[in-house]
Structure 1
Amino acid sequence: MYKYDAYDKTIVAERVAQFRDQTQRYLEGKLTDAEFLPLRLQNGLYVQRFAPMLRVAIPYGMVSATQIRKLAEISRRYDKGYVHFSTRQNVQYNWPKLERVPDILAELATVEMHAIQTSGNCIRNTTTDQFAGVAADELLDPRPYCEIIRQWSTFHPEFAYLPRKFKIAINGAKQDRAAVQVHDIGLHVEQSSHGELGFRVLVGGGLGRTPMIGTEICSFLPEQHLLTYLEAILRVYNRYGRRDNKYKARIKILVKALGAEAFRAKVDAEWQHLKDGPQTLTEAEIKRISQHFSSPDYIDLPAESALLQQHLQQDPNFRHWYQRNVTGHKVPGYAIVTFSLKATAQAPGDATDKQLEAAADLAEQYSFGEIRVSHQQNLVLADVQQDHLYTLWQEALKFGFATPNIGLLTDVICCPGGDFCALANAKSLPIAEAIQRRFDDLDYLHDIGNLDLNISGCMNACGHHHMGHIGILGVDKKGEEFYQVQLGGSAYNDASLGKILGPSFARDVMPDVITSIIDVYLKHRTPEELFIDTYRRIGIQPFKDRVYASNN
């Protein structure tokens, strides 16, 4: 993984000192709330319902065992002994004291971590596939390009105060595991007929109040032009994006207002001033960054492990876990393991300090000391020998990582909701737990099959409810918490936005609502048909008829 150079270390150290001074001046009354707001936001600090929230960057979801241990230590010393992993592959502290935040940032700097540009109207953390570099279906490892974008976008003076926040994602595999179609800029690796590598460029995707699928503005961008083309897009947005209404300030609104052809024309015109200029990527620069992401010291192993096959035959519990939580690896004899952070009654995406330390120990023992954070709010060990899977599973059981539900209904994506966030209309965590308890039967879950359930506490869509096969949105109804249900979303190659089922529901009937939806699916599905396939075939009406007949 990428290691900081002298420039990185200097930048982060100077930012810590700068924010320490800013915080002290604010606490002394020398800065107003309005003056302090943009300063704290670009250092990842929010004011939540009960306490500040600090969001720490995990660039492209990669973190070392040493860094994970530091996150655990900070959670004990400055917070309440746990962290929350977000859908943007970052990590959040929900209870830091404002006056101690500079101390936290200083601690993070000692392990090459920071909170720079994790909030505010700037270019946020660039994300990618949690299996990047090891996926069997990968065309190109996207992580070096994520790092190139990170270095280019950090403190970029032209894009420090954009009309609104800005998110970029890159996918390098055949299957989109980075949700590139719902980002401000989505980059999908392509290979030309001549073997040249480049990117399909999508612009104007996003969720929130006005969800949209991104629009293709370039079918093939050669890799050397990546930064100059991104800069052209950002310049057009910075110039023409609305600043009079924050709800209409995202680039997706601009793309829609101008139309794809007109927006593309403006980008191309701007690009003529930048193309082949100083920010054109050279082979040497791409190679330099790529060297940070070279393969670890894999050993030669048989493609199939006899020991693994033996354990799979002898232990059905291990077999269930293997089927759900283990993914194929591009290197023979290795596997990718996903640690579930979705045990019933555990807040989705949360991990205690003890769990973090255990994950660090297991990463060092089994996976070259590295951990990935997934968009689904789970943790990943990317390089595990097949012979070690059974022992790793036994260890994972001890620390609550081995729930065999990856990709199933109880693998809920969920924002912190009204329990923490001041923007939320309703609580998310109790809904997630109630649904998990209702479907706490692994045989039944496996029979239902792959199904994405996403929950957001408000229209900001931090839980990506628009992209869930089943999406749940918390709404305020005359001062009471209610929940709107959507069906048919997808974050993959076949990306789609969910459609609203109908009027919202009270909290106590939500497990019954989900049960009714599942019953309709099970009644109408054909053999081997997944929920999303059945929904697309039969439409929303059968679900609507059943749900409102049963729960009104």
Structure 2
Amino acid sequence: MYRYDEYDHQIVKERIAQYRGQVERRLSDELAEDEFRILRLQNGLYMQRHAYMLRVAVPYGLLASAQVRKFAYIARKYDRGYGHFTTRQNIQYNWIKLEESPDILADLATVEMHAIQTSGNCIRNITSDELAGVAADEVIDPRPYAEILREWSTFHPEFAYLPRKFKFAINGSEEDRAATAVHDIGLTMVKDASGEVGFKVMVGGGMGRTPIIGSVIREYLPWQHALTYMEAILRVYNQHGRRDNIYKARIKILVKALGPQEFARQVEAEWLDIKDGPGTLTVEELQRVAQYFTAPAYETLPATDTEFEALKVSDKAFANWIKRNVKAHKVSGYAAVILSLKKTGVPPGDITADQLDFVADLSDRYSFGEVRVTHEQNLVLADVKISELFTFWQAIKAQGLATPNIGLLTDIICCPGGDFCSLANAKSIPIAQAIAEKFDNIDFQHDIGEIELNISGCINACGHHHVGNIGILGVDKDGAEWYQVSIGGAQGNSTSIGKIIGPSFSAHQMPTVIERLLSVYVKQRTEDERFIDTVQRLGVAPFKEYVYATPIKAAQPTGEDACV
């Protein structure tokens, strides 16, 4: 993984010193809150309902074990013993004291981390495929290009005050695990007819108040022009994006207003002036960065293991975990393992300091000291030997990280919501927990099959509810917390935006609403049809009709009794 050079260290060191001075002036009232606000946000510090929240950047979701241990240290020393992984592959701490925030940044710098540009109208943390470099379906490893984009975008003076925040995602595999279609810029690594590497460029995707799927403005962009073309896109946005209305300031609004073809024309015109300038990438620069992402010292191993195969047959719980939480690896004898942060009773994405230390130790023992964060709020150890999976599984079971629910109903994406966030209209975590408790039966979940349930506490859509197969949005209804439900959303290669089924529901009704949606699916599905497939085939109408057919009371049968 990428390591800081002397310039990185110096920049971060000076930024911390600058911020420390700003905090001291705020505490002494030399700076008013209105003056300080933009300064703290540039360093990832938000004011939430109960305390400050610090968001730490995890570039393209990649962590070394020492960095994970530092997260545990910060959780114990400065927070309440836990952290929260987000849909941007970052980590958040929700109980930070202002006077201690410079010390946290100094501690982060010792392991080459920071919180710069995790807020503000700038280019945010660049996200990618959590299986980058190891995925069996990978076409090109996107990590070197993600790092090049990170270095280019950090402190870029021209793009420090964009009309609104700006998000990149980059994917290098056949399956889009980076949700590129719902980002301001989504890049897909491709090869042309001669085998040359380049990008398919999508622009104008996003969720929030106006969910839009991005438009392809270039089918093939040579890799050498990655930075110059991105610069051209951002220049058009910076010049013409709206600054008079925060709700219409994202690039998706500009692309929609101009039309993708006209937007692309303007980008191409802007690009002509800079495409062969100093921003053009060279082979030497690509090699400089790529050297940080070479393969670890894999052993030569058989594709499978006799004892492993026998244990899959004899131990149903182990087999369930293998089926859901273990992914194919490009190197024979290895697998990528997803650690579920979705155990019933725990807020989705939360992890304790003890668990963080455990994961760090686990990665050192089993996976070359590396941990990845997914945008679904789970963790990945990408290089585990197949022969060691059973021992690995026994170890993580004891730490509550082995729930075999990846891609299933209780693998819920959920923002912190009204429990913490000052922008939220409603609480998200209690809804996620109520649904998880109602359907806390692994056999039932496996029978239901793959389904994505996403929850956001407000229209900003930090929980990606628009692309959930079932999406739940917290809304304010006469000062009370209610929940709007949509179905039919999807991410990946067939991204779609969900459709609202009807009027909103109270919190106590939500588990039963999910139960009724599943009942329609179970009755109407064909063989091997997933929930999303059934919704796309039937449309919203039959689901809506059944959900609203009779009033929903607080007490209802369990999901297993009602649906199977």
Q: CA deviation at 1:551?
A: 3.6
2:443 corresponds to: 443
1:515 corresponds to: 515
| Contact 1:139 1:173 survives alignment (8 Å) | yes
Amino acid at match of 2:398: K
TM-score, normalising length: structure 1: 0.99
Secondary structure of residue in 2 paired with 1:94: strand
Deviations 1:406-425 (A, max 9, x none): 00000000000000000000
Amino acid at match of 1:86: T
How many residues are matched? 552
Structure 2 matches for 1:316-465, cutoff 5 A? 316-465=316-465
Q: CA deviation at 1:34?
A: 1.8
| Contact 1:228 1:279 survives alignment (8 Å) | yes
Structure 2 matches for 1:113-128, cutoff 5 A? 113-128=113-128
Q: CA deviation at 1:287?
A: 1.2
Q: CA deviation at 1:381?
A: 0.2
Structure 2 residue 180 is matched with structure 1 residue 187 = no
2:141 corresponds to: 141
Q: CA deviation at 1:308?
A: 1.0
Secondary structure of residue in 1 paired with 2:217: strand
Secondary structure of residue in 2 paired with 1:549: coil
2:467 corresponds to: 467
Secondary structure of residue in 1 paired with 2:96: coil
Q: CA deviation at 1:263?
A: 0.7
1:293 corresponds to: 293
Q: CA deviation at 1:307?
A: 1.9
Q: CA deviation at 1:58?
A: 0.3
1:203 corresponds to: 203
Q: CA deviation at 1:29?
A: 1.2
Structure 2 residue 40 is matched with structure 1 residue 40 = yes
Structure 2 residue 86 is matched with structure 1 residue 86 = yes
Deviations 1:182-222 (A, max 9, x none): 00000011111111110000000000011100011111000
Deviations 1:202-245 (A, max 9, x none): 00000001110001111100000000000000011110011111
Q: CA deviation at 1:42?
A: 1.1
2:524 corresponds to: 524
Amino acid at match of 1:364: D
Secondary structure of residue in 1 paired with 2:95: coil
1:213 corresponds to: 213
| Contact 1:513 1:551 survives alignment (8 Å) | no
2:224 corresponds to: 224
The CA distance in 2 between the partners of 1:260 and 1:323, in whole Å, is 41
2:2 corresponds to: 2
The CA distance in 2 between the partners of 1:284 and 1:525, in whole Å, is 54
Identity across the alignment (%) = 62
| Contact 1:337 1:380 survives alignment (8 Å) | yes
Secondary structure of residue in 1 paired with 2:485: strand
1:277 corresponds to: 277
Secondary structure of residue in 2 paired with 1:320: helix
The CA distance in 1 between the partners of 2:467 and 2:19, in whole Å, is 36
The CA distance in 1 between the partners of 2:364 and 2:550, in whole Å, is 51
Secondary structure of residue in 2 paired with 1:421: coil
Deviations 1:330-369 (A, max 9, x none): 0000000000000001000000000000100100000000
Q: CA deviation at 1:386?
A: 0.2
Q: CA deviation at 1:435?
A: 0.3
1:253 corresponds to: 253
The CA distance in 1 between the partners of 2:207 and 2:55, in whole Å, is 20
The CA distance in 1 between the partners of 2:336 and 2:305, in whole Å, is 15
1:58 corresponds to: 58
2:242 corresponds to: 242
Deviations 1:477-508 (A, max 9, x none): 00111000000001111000000010000100
2:170 corresponds to: 170
Moved over 2 A (4+): none
The CA distance in 2 between the partners of 1:441 and 1:160, in whole Å, is 48
Amino acid at match of 1:105: L
The CA distance in 1 between the partners of 2:183 and 2:281, in whole Å, is 23
Secondary structure of residue in 2 paired with 1:198: strand
Amino acid at match of 1:157: P
| Contact 1:516 1:550 survives alignment (8 Å) | no
The CA distance in 2 between the partners of 1:178 and 1:385, in whole Å, is 25
Secondary structure of residue in 1 paired with 2:199: strand
The CA distance in 1 between the partners of 2:42 and 2:125, in whole Å, is 12
Amino acid at match of 2:28: E
- Bigger Cα displacement from structure 2, 453-462 vs 38-47: 38-47
TM-score, normalising length: structure 2: 0.97
| Contact 1:139 1:189 survives alignment (8 Å) | yes
Deviations 1:115-167 (A, max 9, x none): 00001000001000000000000000001011000000000000001000000
Secondary structure of residue in 2 paired with 1:425: coil
Q: CA deviation at 1:176?
A: 0.3
2:541 corresponds to: 541
The CA distance in 1 between the partners of 2:336 and 2:151, in whole Å, is 28
Secondary structure of residue in 1 paired with 2:548: helix
Q: CA deviation at 1:310?
A: 1.7
| Contact 1:512 1:551 survives alignment (8 Å) | no
The CA distance in 1 between the partners of 2:148 and 2:551, in whole Å, is 51
The CA distance in 1 between the partners of 2:354 and 2:333, in whole Å, is 30
Amino acid at match of 1:541: A
The CA distance in 2 between the partners of 1:73 and 1:268, in whole Å, is 48
| Contact 1:225 1:281 survives alignment (8 Å) | yes
1:304 corresponds to: 304
Deviations 1:317-342 (A, max 9, x none): 11111111000000000000000000
The CA distance in 2 between the partners of 1:550 and 1:27, in whole Å, is 56
1:76 corresponds to: 76
Secondary structure of residue in 2 paired with 1:124: coil
Secondary structure of residue in 2 paired with 1:93: strand
The CA distance in 2 between the partners of 1:321 and 1:258, in whole Å, is 48
The CA distance in 1 between the partners of 2:231 and 2:39, in whole Å, is 24
The CA distance in 2 between the partners of 1:15 and 1:306, in whole Å, is 54
| Contact 1:509 1:551 survives alignment (8 Å) | no
1:313 corresponds to: 313
| Contact 1:162 1:238 survives alignment (8 Å) | yes
The CA distance in 2 between the partners of 1:252 and 1:42, in whole Å, is 23
1:18 corresponds to: 18
1:492 corresponds to: 492
Amino acid at match of 1:9: H
The CA distance in 2 between the partners of 1:12 and 1:147, in whole Å, is 17
Instruction: Flag structure 2 segments of 5+ consecutive residues without an equivalent.
Output: 553-564
Deviations 1:20-41 (A, max 9, x none): 0111111111112221111111
Secondary structure of residue in 1 paired with 2:483: strand
Q: CA deviation at 1:550?
A: 3.5
Amino acid at match of 1:26: R
Q: CA deviation at 1:305?
A: 1.2
| Two-structure CA RMSD over aligned residues (Å) | 0.6
The CA distance in 1 between the partners of 2:248 and 2:509, in whole Å, is 34
The CA distance in 2 between the partners of 1:330 and 1:525, in whole Å, is 34
The CA distance in 1 between the partners of 2:77 and 2:69, in whole Å, is 12
The CA distance in 2 between the partners of 1:450 and 1:274, in whole Å, is 46
The CA distance in 2 between the partners of 1:307 and 1:357, in whole Å, is 29
The CA distance in 1 between the partners of 2:87 and 2:400, in whole Å, is 20
The CA distance in 2 between the partners of 1:162 and 1:379, in whole Å, is 32
The CA distance in 2 between the partners of 1:208 and 1:462, in whole Å, is 8
| Contact 1:170 1:180 survives alignment (8 Å) | yes
